[in-house]
Structure 1
Amino acid sequence: MKFFFKCDEATNVCDKSQYKEAGFFDKLMLHIHLLMCKICRGYTKRNVKLTKTINSANIKTLRPEEKEILKARLRHEIDNERRIQS
């Protein structure tokens, strides 16, 4: 069992932690790594800020049914364009 993360492992756990996919031991090891690594602390701070910004953006996306309608329209237009060019 390893007791210290390398930076690439720490950033991976940081990302997992943002999406609530990291386990307790991984989060504990991340916090220990962050105490010693200024670069990873900066990465974590920027990652948290990005996540907060995205969550507060109130982005609206298409419903699955709307996406399918749009895909069908695009396929139809592409097929028509190909027929015209042929």
Structure 2
Amino acid sequence: MKKSFLFISCEEAHHICDKRQYGEATGWERVKLGIRLSWCRITRAYSKRNNKLTEVIEKADVDCLNNDERSKIKLQFEEELAKHQ
């Protein structure tokens, strides 16, 4: 079967959708994705979920450990591990 230059598979569309989320998709890839999104409900649903996930992650107020705290916890863990060996 001859591969079309405009029509892409679902798997390729999902990959391009992921690349688009991070700003790595080329203009031509975005055009091909747009064509796929116009008629494929599975790709549209994937794109919608992908966009929603990105929004949630960006809005999340995550408080991470800084390097000093992380080092202190690692040291305590290693000390406790050494006691039990």
Confirm or deny that 1:4 pairs with 2:30.
Answer: no
* More off after superposition, 19-28 vs 48-57: 48-57
Poorly superposed stretches of 4+, deviation over 4 Å: none
Q: Which has the higher helix share?
A: 1
Cα 1:56/1:75, change in 2 over 3 Å? closer
Residues 47-81 of structure 1 deviation map (CA, whole Å, 9 limit, x = unaligned): 1122122222333434xxx2x21232123212321
Q: Which amino acid counterpart does residue 3 of structure 1 have in structure 2?
A: L
> Identity over aligned residues, as a percent?
34
- The count of corresponding residues between Structure 1 and Structure 2 is 82
Q: TM-score, normalised by structure 1?
A: 0.78
What's the RMSD between the two structures over aligned residues?
1.9
Give deviations 1:25-59, integer Å, cap 9, x for gaps. 00000000111211101111111122122222333
Instruction: Point out where structure 1 has 5 or more consecutive residues left out of the alignment.
Output: none
Determine the structure 2 residue equivalent to 1:82: 81
